[in-house]
């Protein structure tokens, strides 16, 4: 019941090796993306630039680029496909930000303030369509199958997550299914594409596995960070999940250990979404008491080790080392 | 300035011939659609069934089916492609219904009450992904190009429409670009697919034109009906466009003729969205005074005649007659 001391990473972990290997390719991805959103419709241009210029780590397109390199691919297709992956991701981000009416009525909505719900939805749709146009430009039906399947799985996962909202009795299995779908599906597709453009089916399958495992680990760490007060520097707003009634592993774990009084707290704050200003601190106290963060990060470590295994059959190369560093970075950013 | 007497249609117009020709195919489309939404996620199933079971004329998939027949196509591909077209349409409907936050703050939101914004967005995404999976199943890259281009144009048109909201000075050209994009793009794609599966490029191009013209006419009539008080029986809620501040041809035409006092009325009700209960009646009075409905329907008639021309090169057949009846029906439903 006491908190596990966070494991100190044995070395300093960064993504520098990754970005130095793919720097030129990533620039071309960015150029292509910005070129595609140079729409004659100003609002599309504004929102797209806002989303894309706000940067982030570009981890998904980076995975497509480095996976292609890992497989020794020398052509040009990976750039458009990486852009396609990023378009799907930004579309999902925009749609994720749409605020539910029922929540607005509770006066809790703060997200999505710049442009409004409707614009987010429609520009998200525009970005989805850009993703598909880029794939059609590539012209390979397997690529289209991989990314349209990923899109279907993502939307299904998002709906499952919506259905779980406010239900702290959500099972770990259900939660894992949600994050496998909403997050890991695009990670695995992004990586698989590297093997596909290189024309190596066996490697494509291994890369699919690799992407799936680090996608799950990545989301687990994200969900842990949402309850980690000292992580504001990472650019993630702490407490979002709590305020939205989103059920994640730190809560699921803690709820299962909670006293009756603590369960009543979760049911009020997440189930009924009746939250007082001091409730988030109380939530973090309960999570700390049952080591909800430690448990979540331990599970993330497990998926990271599976990701490393998936890479084992690949011959040593700078790309492989960089990909192993992505795995290290995935959990290390939590400390 | 006086109202043009509505032209009485010379014969009773129905879509009976169309539906008797495609009855079996349309049943297979419905079965396929319902099969694809038999998701293990109950909310997807519920919303999809709600949208799809609520029926409507299924005009878009019907166009794919009858166009295939017109081109003498004997295969099976048209069924999945018609379902794909309908999935894109229902996704668009769901996303169209999403309510803007800014409007909610004005307390005007009534749409989308059953499921909420977020569910509509995510299930809409699911339906888009089903559309693309069906196309990928077809395996033809030209089909994918047609429908991904249509999706891109639709989303661009929806964003343009959003930008025009509340601006009664929107030009006719701009309005026509909006409806060509948001509505006619899917009609033209739906028709073109009939020529594509039949492997006849020239016919595919003519069908694209045909679909584009009736799509524009269809939307013009829809926009006219929104100000036609006696049309409630058609299942369309009168006044939606007015209440949402959506700028359509009846308003654009009337605004251009309006006195200063009338322009002030439009600016208050549509520009500021400050509406009193009696305002819709006043809006209809001004539109009637300047024959806004008559002008809109006259333009629809013009596009219908262009649609008939596009069909002229096709040899006579029951399918061709049925398609000409769709053209007649398009405007006749307004009377």
Q: Give tens-digit pLDDT for B217-264.
A: 999 999 999 998 665 555 556 888 998 899 999 999 999 999 999 999
Burial A198-222 (b: 16+ CB within 10 A, else e): bebeebbebbbbbbbbbbbbbbbbb
Query: Does B159 contact A98 at a Cβ distance shorter than 8 Å?
Result: no
Q: How many CB pairs below 8 A link A and B?
A: 152
CB A130 within 8 A of CB A80: no
CA distance B70 to B41: 39
A3 φ/ψ sector (left φ>0, alpha ψ -120 to 50, else beta): beta
**Count of CB atoms within 10 A of residue A274's CB?**
11
pLDDT at B93 over 50: yes
Q: What single-letter DSSP state applies at residue B8?
A: P
pLDDT at A321 over 70: yes
Domain ranges for chain B, please list them: 16-332
Query: Does B156 contact A100 at a Cβ distance shorter than 8 Å?
Result: no
Minimal C-alpha gap between A36 and chain B (Å): 11
Q: Measured between alpha carbons, how far apart are the two ends of chain B, in Å?
A: 20
How many residues are recorded in chain B?
335
| Residues in Cβ contact with A178 at an 8 Å cutoff, skipping those fewer than 6 apart | A157, A160, A161, A164
CA distance B320 to B26: 18
Taking contacts as CB-CB distances below 8 angstroms, the residues of chain B near A177 are none
| Residue range B122-130: mean pLDDT, rounded | 94
CB B136 within 8 A of CB A145: yes
Q: Which pTM value belongs to this model?
A: 0.91
- Report the chain B residue with the minimal C-alpha distance to residue A138: B141
Q: How confident is the model at residue A244 (pLDDT cuts 50, 70, 90)?
A: confident
How many residues are recorded in chain A?
335
pLDDT of residue B2: 42
Query: Does B133 contact A149 at a Cβ distance shorter than 8 Å?
Result: yes
pLDDT of residue B3: 44
Closest C-alpha to A196, from A135, A134, A143? A143
Which residue pairs from A227-230 have beta carbons closer than 8 angstroms and sit at least 24 positions apart in sequence?
Answer: A227/A283, A227/A284, A227/A287, A227/A292, A227/A293, A228/A293, A228/A334, A229/A284
pLDDT at B99 over 50: yes
Taking contacts as CB-CB distances below 8 angstroms, the residues of chain B near A154 are 125, 129
Each residue's pLDDT tens digit, B180-198 = 999 999 999 999 999 999 9
Taking contacts as CB-CB distances below 8 angstroms, the residues of chain B near A145 are 136
Query: Does A41 contact B156 at a Cβ distance shorter than 8 Å?
Result: yes
Substitution target from A44, A80, A129, A164 for chain B, most B beta carbons within 10 A: A129
| Residue range A47-59: mean pLDDT, rounded | 76
Q: What single-letter DSSP state applies at residue B2?
A: P
Q: Two tokens at A143? A: 């690529």
pLDDT of residue A228: 82
Each residue's pLDDT tens digit, B139-170 = 999 999 999 999 999 999 999 999 999 999 99
Out of A43, A124, A132, the one facing B151 most closely (by C-beta) is A132
Q: Specify whether domain A16-332 bears CATH 1.10.600.10.
A: yes
Q: Two tokens at A188? A: 């695995």
Query: Does B119 contact A155 at a Cβ distance shorter than 8 Å?
Result: no
| Residue range B259-280: mean pLDDT, rounded | 94
Among the residue ranges A24-33, A228-237, B37-46, the one predicted with the least confidence is A228-237
Out of B133, B144, B151, the one facing A152 most closely (by C-beta) is B133
pLDDT of residue B143: 97
pLDDT of residue B117: 86
pLDDT of residue A111: 33
Query: Does A162 contact B122 at a Cβ distance shorter than 8 Å?
Result: yes
Minimal C-alpha gap between B50 and chain A (Å): 16
CB B205 within 8 A of CB B315: no
Q: Measured between alpha carbons, how far apart are the two ends of chain A, in Å?
A: 21
pLDDT at A318 over 50: yes
Each residue's pLDDT tens digit, B304-330 = 999 999 999 999 999 999 999 999 998
CA distance A123 to B159: 7
Out of A118, A141, A154, the one facing B98 most closely (by C-beta) is A118
- Report the chain A residue with the minimal C-alpha distance to residue B125: A155
Query: Does B117 contact A100 at a Cβ distance shorter than 8 Å?
Result: yes
pLDDT of residue A234: 53
3-state class percentages of chain A: helix first, strand second, coil last, to nearest 5: 75, 0, 25
Burial A160-182 (b: 16+ CB within 10 A, else e): bbbbbbbbbebeeebbbbbbbbb
- Report the chain A residue with the minimal C-alpha distance to residue B145: A136
Minimal C-alpha gap between B161 and chain A (Å): 10
């Amino acid at each position: 019941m006491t908190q596990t001391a966070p494991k100190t990473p044995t070395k300093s972990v960064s993504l520098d090796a990754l970005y130095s290997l793919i720097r030129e390719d990533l620039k071309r991805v960015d150029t292509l993306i910005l070129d595609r959103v140079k729409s004659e419709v100003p609002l599309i241009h504004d929102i797209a630039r806002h989303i894309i210029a706000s940067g982030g780590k570009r981890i998904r397109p980076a995975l497509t680029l480095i996976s292609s390199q890992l497989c020794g691919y020398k052509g040009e297709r990976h750039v458009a496909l990486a852009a396609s992956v990023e378009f799907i991701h930004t579309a999902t981000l925009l749609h994720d930000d749409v605020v539910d009416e029922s929540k607005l009525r509770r006066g809790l909505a703060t997200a999505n303030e710049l442009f409004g719900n409707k614009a987010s939805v429609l520009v998200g749709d525009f970005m989805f369509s850009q993703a598909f146009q880029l794939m059609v430009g590539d012209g390979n039906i397997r690529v289209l199958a991989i990314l349209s399947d990923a899109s279907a799985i993502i939307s299904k996962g998002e709906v499952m997550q919506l259905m779980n909202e406010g239900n702290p009795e959500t099972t770990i299995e259900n939660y894992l299914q949600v994050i496998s779908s909403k997050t890991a599906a695009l990670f695995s597709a992004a990586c698989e594409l590297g093997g596909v453009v290189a024309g190596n089916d066996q490697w494509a399958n291994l890369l699919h596995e690799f992407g799936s495992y680090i996608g799950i680990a990545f989301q687990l760490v994200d969900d842990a960070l949402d309850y980690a007060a000292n992580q504001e520097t990472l650019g993630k707003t702490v407490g979002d999940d709590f305020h939205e009634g989103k059920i994640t592993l730190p809560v699921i774990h803690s709820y299962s250990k909670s006293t009756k009084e603590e369960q009543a707290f979760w049911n009020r704050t997440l189930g009924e979404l009746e939250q007082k200003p001091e409730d988030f601190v109380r939530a973090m106290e309960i999570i700390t008491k049952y080591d909800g963060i430690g448990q979540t990060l331990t599970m993330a470590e497990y998926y990271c080790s599976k990701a490393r295994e998936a890479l084992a059959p690949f011959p040593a190369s700078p790309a492989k080392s960089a990909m192993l560093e992505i795995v290290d970075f995935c959990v290390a950013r939590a400390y």
